[in-house]
Structure 1
Amino acid sequence: MSWDGVQIAALEALGHVRYRVEVPGQTLPDDALLDALLRASGRSRDADDAYALYRSFGALDGLRRAEAKRALWPRLRRLRAR
């Protein structure tokens, strides 16, 4: 389940803990490039949509080329603006 900011604040104010349910096969790889992409998009590893965003990037090895990085910046800016 995905929570919005108001719901998260209310749960924390009540002293409740949100648990993340790990779905098999939906773990993020330990990769510095992925961490940088998540930060650039305004997300963190524990964000609800981090795995979906990781999948939308495609193969991380392909993003290590300079031309792929340049093409990715407009998309990251749009994600950060949300």
Structure 2
Amino acid sequence: MTLLSPDWTLIFWALFSLLFLAVFIRAVYSVWGRNDLYQSTKLLWSIFIVLAPVIGLVCYFMFGSRSDISLEEENN
């Protein structure tokens, strides 16, 4: 490997890490931006996402988050 040739595995993992970090931040922001949850529930979701990031994110987006469609239906 020369000095200027990219290491593709390093680039892949760097991009994957940035994507994971973006999803992680989005999930925590989404939890604390909701008005329909108690503070204790928000704290529990946040702790779960921080302590078990992969499982926590999957569980939050499957069971805890609300879709935009359901929000629009409630507003009408």
> TM-score when scaled to structure 2?
0.32
> TM-score when scaled to structure 1?
0.31
Larger gyration radius, structure 1 or structure 2: 2
